[in-house]
Structure formats: C-alpha cells, structure tokens
C-alpha cells in the first residue's frame, strides 16, 4: 500500500478515468488515484493530475519516440516538469525547463517510496527542486493547475533565480516552452 504523509487533496479521480487507464498504468497508480485522488505532496512539489487533460493539452509534445509504449502523464512538478509512466521502461521525468529527461525507476511503487523516504535530499538530487521552496516563500504556492516557470525561459537566456520564477498554468507553460525550445525526444 502506498503511503504519502503530506498529501493535500484537490479532487477525487473520476471512476471513468480509473477504468480507461487500467492496464495502461501500473496498479500502484490506480491505487494512488483511488485512495488519494488528485492533489499535491512532497511539500507541494508533486501534483497528481488528470492524465486525460494532459494528454489532450500536451500529448503531442511528450516526445516519446523510443520503446514500445506511449507516455502517460501521471504527475507534474511545481516547476513544470511532467512525470510519465512508460511501460516497460517505467517512470520518466521530462524536465522542459532544463531540456532533458531522467529515468526515475522501473516500478512506480519504488519511485514513490524513494520520494517519501529521502524527502528533500531526493527532491534536490533527482529533481533539481531547490528553488521551488524559495519561490513558494517569495511568491506563495502556485494553484493546483499552475507551476513556476522561468521568465524568460532558461533556454532564452533567463537566469535560474527565484526572482525569475512566475506561476503559470502548467499545460500552457509546457506548450510555450516546447514552442520555443522544441520537443524533448526520449
């Protein structure tokens, strides 16, 4: 059973969503949706999102070009990154702000346990999250459908500073980053 100590609920996951993704995502994701619903955890950094909304909004720019399956968006971060399930590869992090991807593990359960057990150390090392808590302190927490993005984008000469982070609608921010930077293929 997946335990998340600091989960903040936003809304329940619709039964139709659970049914339509059963078999496309691991049982751990289904359990997460049924037990917790949509919401945040990891000090507000991770957002469990509606995969249908994200497939409609950014499905064409998820950049999945290798492997056997498509990328199913299951979470986003407070810095506009997307976490996908990509069978059989596992959990993948697409960091649009940095222009790269990272494999996060072959099983969803192991990935979420690492985040829970290692806390800020894991967030810093794996997700380069260090400016996120500073941005929350300076600007307030972004809304559930928002993430902090650099203005101007790092790829356009922006600087990695708290003063340059702005809360923006996550889907629109990702589309904007892709428009200027291109799709991050993986």
> Over the stretch 36-75, which tens digit does the pLDDT of each residue have?
999 999 999 999 999 999 999 998 888 765 556 678 999 9
CA separation for the pair 80, 33 (Å, rounded): 21
Residue 103 β-bridge partners: 92
Q: Which pLDDT score, from 0 to 100, does residue 68 have?
A: 62
Contact 105, 90 (CB under 8 A): yes
CA separation for the pair 132, 174 (Å, rounded): 17
Q: Which pLDDT score, from 0 to 100, does residue 67 have?
A: 59
Side-by-side strand order, sheet with 72-77? 8-11, 38-41, 46-48, 72-77, 82-86, 90-95, 100-105
- The pTM assigned to this predicted structure is 0.92
CA separation for the pair 14, 50 (Å, rounded): 9
Q: Which pLDDT score, from 0 to 100, does residue 116 have?
A: 75
Q: Which pLDDT score, from 0 to 100, does residue 64 have?
A: 66
Which residue bears the tokens 């969503």?
17
CA 136 to chain centre: 17
Residue of 58, 113, 67 whose CA lies nearest to 92: 67
Q: Which pLDDT score, from 0 to 100, does residue 60 have?
A: 87
Q: Which pLDDT score, from 0 to 100, does residue 69 have?
A: 65
Query: In the chain, count of helices (H) and strands (E)?
Result: 6, 9
The count of other CB atoms within 10 Å of the CB of residue 55 is: 16
Low-confidence ranges of the chain (pLDDT < 50): none
On the 0-12 / 13-18 / 19+ scale of CB atoms within 10 A, 108 is: buried
Q: Which pLDDT score, from 0 to 100, does residue 119 have?
A: 79
Contact 48, 32 (CB under 8 A): yes
Q: Which pLDDT score, from 0 to 100, does residue 71 have?
A: 87
Q: Which pLDDT score, from 0 to 100, does residue 66 have?
A: 58
Contacts of 172 (CB under 8 A, 6+ apart): none
Residue of 52, 71, 54 whose CA lies nearest to 186: 71
Task: Provide the percentage of residues in the chain whose pLDDT is more than 90.
Answer: 69
């Amino acid at each position: 059973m997946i335990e998340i100590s600091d989960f903040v609920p936003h809304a329940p996951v619709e039964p139709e969503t659970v049914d339509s993704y059963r078999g496309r995502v691991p049982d751990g994701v289904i359990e997460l949706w049924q037990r917790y619903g949509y919401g945040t955890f990891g000090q507000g950094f991770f957002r469990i999102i509606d995969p249908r909304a994200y497939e409609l909004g950014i499905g064409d720019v998820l950049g999945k070009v290798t492997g056997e399956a498509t990328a199913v968006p299951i979470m986003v971060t407070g810095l506009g990154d997307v976490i996908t399930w990509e069978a059989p590869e596992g959990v993948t992090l697409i960091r649009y702000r940095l222009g790269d991807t990272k494999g996060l593990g072959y099983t969803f359960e192991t990935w979420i346990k690492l985040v829970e057990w290692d806390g800020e150390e894991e967030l810093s090392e794996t997700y380069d999250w260090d400016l996120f808590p500073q941005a929350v302190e300076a600007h307030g927490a972004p809304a559930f459908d928002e993430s902090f993005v650099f203005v101007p984008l790092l790829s356009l000469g922006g600087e990695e500073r708290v003063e340059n982070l702005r809360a923006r609608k996550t889907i629109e921010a990702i589309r904007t980053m892709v428009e200027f930077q291109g799709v991050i293929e993986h």
